[in-house]
Structure 1
Amino acid sequence: MSVQLNTVRKLRVHWPISTETFAGIAAGEVAALQQDPGLAALLHTVEQFRELGDFGNYKHVFESGVGLEGFTCGEGAVPTLGTVGEHMVSPTFVFTTYFDAALEDHVVEQFIKELVDIHPWELPVIEVTGPVSVAGGLGAKDRSGAAAS
């Protein structure tokens, strides 16, 4: 049996969760992923892109973990959690998946845009390995929470 290796890029999204969801996931309760409205939205969104987590006979492949995300809100921030000058620690779900390295930039741009649009943070942590060429408008959200254009 031979193994075919493909060149891929990684997408990792850090998503804030409640302490209840954190405890449920840490205890191995798979239902906690769908019971948390934010995580359910994240999983639904990434499932809409057939290119994400496509491993031939296996689709929507992802890895996850739970942890803590720390930050201090700076001047000019409009935080979802905490206040300016306050150091915060938030329970976090880390979602990781992979996609073909040859995927066209406009497709990568589209799923990043959709993730930014649904993410509850003013500045979401979304990591993509390899070069990313985006047309703009994917930066910080405006004060109303909508993606800036």
Structure 2
Amino acid sequence: MKIEMKSVRKLRVHWPVASETFSRLAKGDVEAFRDEAGVVALLQAVSESPDLGDFGNYRHVFESGLGFEGFTCTEGANPTLGQVGQQTISPTFVFTTYFDAALDDAAVERFLQQIVDIHPWEVPVIELTGPISVSSTALPAVFASEAAS
């Protein structure tokens, strides 16, 4: 089998969820995605951005995980959760997707701004990598040998 690689950038967003949603997701209840308004808004934003999660015959590809965010708000903060001077721990949905590394900066800025606009945190945690390689296709060996001929 021949594996072809594609140059992409990774986008990871940390999104707070209700404790009940976190518990349901941890138990494998995928319906919990539909009951969490913030996650629904995030997935809708991805579905409206054709460049996000494009893997040829598969669109809107993403990975997710569960975790916790911890932070302490300082003076001047306007927190959605927690209080100034108090350490806060929040159940978190960690969303990861990919997009073509050659995508122009204006398009990247548009979907980052869309995520910031719908994110509930005053300062959302959004990670954006430089180019990395991921597998984009896997061809059976017979096709790979024919292609090489």
Quickly name the TM-score band, shorter chain normalised.
0.7 to 0.9
Partner amino acid, structure 2, of 1:76: G
In the TM superposition, residue 130 of structure 1 has moved relative to its aligned partner by 1.7
Which structure is higher in strand share? Answer: 2
Which structure is higher in helix share? Answer: 2
What is the match of residue 94 of structure 2?
Answer: 94
- Identity %, equivalent residues: 63
Whole-angstrom CA distance in 2 between matches of 1:80 and 1:49: 27
What is the match of residue 55 of structure 2?
Answer: 55
In the TM superposition, residue 76 of structure 1 has moved relative to its aligned partner by 0.4
**Alignment pair present for 1:69 and 2:77:** no
**Alignment pair present for 1:19 and 2:19:** yes
Counterparts of 1:1-149 in structure 2, within 5 Å, are 1-130=1-130
In the TM superposition, residue 47 of structure 1 has moved relative to its aligned partner by 1.0
Q: Structure with the greater relative contact order (CA < 8 A, sep ≥ 6): 1 or 2?
A: 2
In the TM superposition, residue 107 of structure 1 has moved relative to its aligned partner by 0.4
Stretches of structure 2 lacking an aligned partner (at least 5 in a row):
132-149
User: What TM-score do the two structures reach when normalised by structure 2?
Assistant: 0.86
Alpha-carbon RMSD: 0.9
- State the Cα deviation string for residues 68-125 of structure 1 (Å, max 9, x = none): 0000001100000011000000000000000110000000000000000000000000
Q: Secondary structure at 1:8's aligned position in 2?
A: strand
User: What TM-score do the two structures reach when normalised by structure 1?
Assistant: 0.86
Whole-angstrom CA distance in 2 between matches of 1:82 and 1:46: 28
Larger Rg: 2
